[in-house]
Amino acid sequence: MIRILLQLLWLAVFRQNPPPPRPYVRLRWLRQRMKQWGRILIRMIPGSLRQKLSRTHFRKQLEAAAGHDLRWSRPVGLAAYLLAFGILIIAIITPFSLLSQLVFMALLWIIALSIRRIPGNLATMILIVLSVIASSRYLWWRINYTLNWDDLIDLTLGLGLLAAELFAWLVLILGYFQTARPLQRQPVALPADPAQWPTVDVFIPTYNEPLEVVKPTVYAALGMDWPREKLNVYLLDDGRRPEFRQFAQEAGVAYMIRPDNHHAKAGNLNHALARTGGEFVAIFDCDHIPTRSFLQVNMGWFLRDPKLALMQTPHHFFSPDPFERNLDNFRTVPNENELFYGLVQDGNDLWNATFFCGSCAVLRRKPLEEIGGIAVETVTEDAHTALRMHRLGYNSAYLKIPQAAGLATESFSAHIGQRIRWARGMAQIFRIDNPLLGKGLSIWQRLCYGNAMLHFLSGIPRLVFLSAPLAFLLLHAYIIYAPAALILLYVAPHLIHASIANSRIQGKYRFSFWAEIYETALAWYIARPTTAALIAPHKGSFNVTAKGGLIPEEHFDWSISRPFLILVALNLLGIVVGLGRLVGGPDHEAGTVLLNLGWASYNLLILGAALGVAQEARQVRHTHRVDFLMPAALRLPNGQHLQAEVQNFSLGGMNLYCKEDCALEAGTSVQLSLRPGLRSYAFPATVVHLEGNLLGLQFRELTSQQEADLVKCTFGRADIWMGWAAGRPHDRPLRSLKEVLAKGLVGYQRLLHCTLPAHAQPLLGQAHGLLKYFSSYLPRRPAAPAYRTTSMETP
């Protein structure tokens, strides 16, 4: 005993080094100390008593008394969950005084700030619990204490805001459930003998897209690493164009048409499905270019799991969408799609609820035929198809490895048109084949599908938030019937903790406050079709998203921005009236007026960012450039060879950095050599510009085989998209808030540029210079780096 006490003293005094300053290192140090102390304390207990106190011995004694096995983990775990839930409910519904609520808010905030940088799932779950407590407590307070039942206008408008807040709370809770623990599935190796690999039919549907958009996808599909006798590529042309038939014959792929365009893309795929016989079907939109490793990365899971019906991969885009192009944040801020394909789908995979997204996916033919082919009842045939396969008990999977890339929507109007179709289709599924009802789905799958549909019903709640402060500023309606200080003490923890938790979970895929811009820009346009689809679900037609278009001149889209301008005018009017009330109104209303003025001002800046998206930037490139570093070689007309490095590429040309001095002139013909694997490929090119050792090359008169080889060397590389987001920092909420507000000011500057007469433009230039001066104090995000590869790509 004395020896053990001396050991404890020695451990506590002589081996207790001060913990490092970083929180997660301090936590690890504490765990190690506790383990050491625990081992020594256990040794102090006599052996016979230790055995009687052990869990195994105690369980065996009770099992002998009961006469059967006892499963202790389940009831004990259930009791622990019930206890935790009870404590959570108490923390939510207990009424506090003003001072007590302030102390409670400060305590939650201190805990969140203390653990938000500690890695691991435990810290994430604690942040989620804190957010749920703060948000649920706010709503409990709103429901019980903030509705004015004595005034009809106050009550009506207050219930409208409360309904929008309840919707946002439900989406927040379901979002935590969906994304807190992404599965992060890894590929499974195929059998060593390719003879055991299954046959795959590749479907590339097209309707009105240009041939230059479709060609790279066909070439890349032919170049996928798969036994040639087990790979069949089909070009499904609903446009029935002679030049597509000729191209298919030259490329060596099957060309398929049908007599009508019934059911649009779904009908096109079903027509091909009935006339082919491969064990699996890979589907690519005609602008989505697969890498050579696509099938080898994805097919292993099908051989491991015979019940697997769907393998979905991300929709990666190498061109900027309208938000990225018009707000000038391409690759420095995650785009609108990255949250879904980077986190939500990975979270769905944990619950066996991966959605089919219409492209970049592989489906097993047998379950697809069991459900009657691709669903045709809604305009989002992909998600509905996955839902039907899940109802039959089939599994789905998601690999968060970009293995194909395509073109983003070219204009803001085209982007809105695409989102309208998605929103209408999800509302149609909600009415026609509601995932919350019917047989075959687990409760977790129902929640994942339900949250996806709720996302597209967010138009009306967003419009409510954008107009809510006007209820008090213009109508003098108390939609939150409480003092301003008390409102802040309840709403601030709700907003702060939701921001901290979401930044922790989503920080790599969605920066804080950027969702405000995305949802504001789409709110008006998805509110109408979703409401109509809920009332009449069979109305609405499939619209094809335009790809490969050009924007020859910069312009402001007045038509698409009309709803934003109306909301801007209303919020400006509210601010003017509110300022008048602040000066001449009663003193006891000053806090409420200031609160609503701040809310309306925030809405104005978010609407300004949406107006900035409506200012279409010029886009005249027929082929988009991709930043990527890879080795290359140049053969000059005199036979000299130069080592070079590709800086960026497109299917029309490349920029290179020569490692040696080169005396070239514009117009010089050269031979470019690329080596993506063991074989080298040569392409004729012309120097179009020269700046020091930087060369700009334009390809000239490539043959069909050279075009296919160029796709294999560039877009078809297995490693081409692996480092796309490398070097991009994690989200920092305050910095993101400053950037979003700055984008709002830029939006108004662009609006004034389009409306002011020519003689007033110098004043606008001065205002723009002032804006740049203040923006210079914002922390700058580093530009997205080009990522480097070796001479040999990843197999």
Which residues are annotated as catalytic?
238, 382
Q: Cα–Cα distance between 583 and 447 in angstroms, integer?
A: 50
Contact 284, 217 (CB under 8 A): yes
Confirm if 356 and 382 have CB atoms less than 8 A apart.
yes
Residue 460 to residue 520: CA distance in whole angstroms = 10
From CA 601, how far away is CA 595, in angstroms rounded? 10
Helix (H) or strand (E) holding 409: none
Total residue length of the chain: 795
Phi and psi based region of residue 623 (left: phi greater than 0; alpha: psi -120 to 50; beta: remaining): beta
Amino acid at 695: L
Q: What is the DSSP string of 60-110?
A: HHHHHHHTS----HHHHHHHHHHHHHHHHHHHHH----HHHHHHHHHHHHH
Query: Which structure tokens are listed for 119?
Result: 């890695």
- CB crowding 427-454: b at 16 or more within 10 Å, else e: bbbbeebebeeeeebeeebbbbbbbbbb
Tokens at 547, concatenated: 């790809």
Which of 137, 135, 163, 158 is closest to 146 using CA atoms? 158
Short-list 304, 303, 298, 451, CA closest to 383: 451
Which two tokens mark 285?
Answer: 């939109």
The angle subtended at Cα 174 by Cα 111 and Cα 450, nearest 5°, is: 175
Three-state DSSP class for residue 236: strand
Rounded CA gap, 598 and 575, in Å? 9
> Which ranges constitute the DSSP H helices of 94-182?
98-115, 121-145, 152-179
CA distance 175 to 452: 9
Q: CA-CA distance, 360 to 290, in Å (whole number)?
A: 8
Joined together, the tokens standing for residue 53 give 């106190």
* Bridging pattern class, strands 641-649 and 681-691: unpaired
Euclidean distance between CA atoms 647 and 626, whole angstroms: 9
Which amino acid, residue 651? Answer: L
* Tokens found for residue 308: 């697997």
DSSP structure class, residue 231: E
